[in-house]
């Protein structure tokens, strides 16, 4: 993310607009790749405000490692375990 929080927030809002042209049944979130401390913000859906999306990256802890593949695998395995139980 390289501390480019404003662009990330704008991207989330644009993504939401694109998704809502197809469906209102969605949830999205944002993670930092080191998965340390506060690593997840969300979930956001059709009822989330633009301010919530704008502030989401600012609520995450600083990401010093940027280990995207590793963190994606960890978070997906956590969600899969929860949904299967």
List, for residues 27-64, the tens digit of each pLDDT value: 888 877 766 677 788 888 889 888 888 888 888 877 66
Length of the chain: 85
Check residue 35 and give its pLDDT: 66
Whole-model pTM: value is 0.57
Cβ within 8 Å of residue 5, ≥6 positions away:
57, 58
Check residue 67 and give its pLDDT: 61
For 58-83, what is the mean pLDDT? 69
Confidence class for position 1, pLDDT limits 50, 70, 90: very low
Residue 71 pLDDT greater than 70, yes or no? no
User: Long-range contacts for 66-72 (Cβ within 8 Å, ≥24 apart)?
Assistant: 66/1, 66/33, 66/34, 67/33, 67/34, 68/33, 70/33, 71/31, 71/32, 71/33, 71/34, 71/35, 71/39, 72/33
């Amino acid at each position: 993310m390289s501390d480019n929080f404003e662009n990330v927030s704008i991207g989330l809002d644009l993504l939401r607009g694109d998704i809502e042209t197809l469906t209102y049944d969605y949830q999205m979130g944002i993670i930092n790749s080191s998965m340390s401390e506060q690593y997840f913000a969300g979930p956001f859906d059709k009822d989330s405000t633009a301010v919530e999306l704008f502030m989401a990256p600012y609520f995450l802890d600083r990401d010093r490692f940027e280990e995207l593949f590793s963190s994606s695998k960890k978070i997906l395995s956590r969600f899969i375990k929860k949904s299967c139980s």
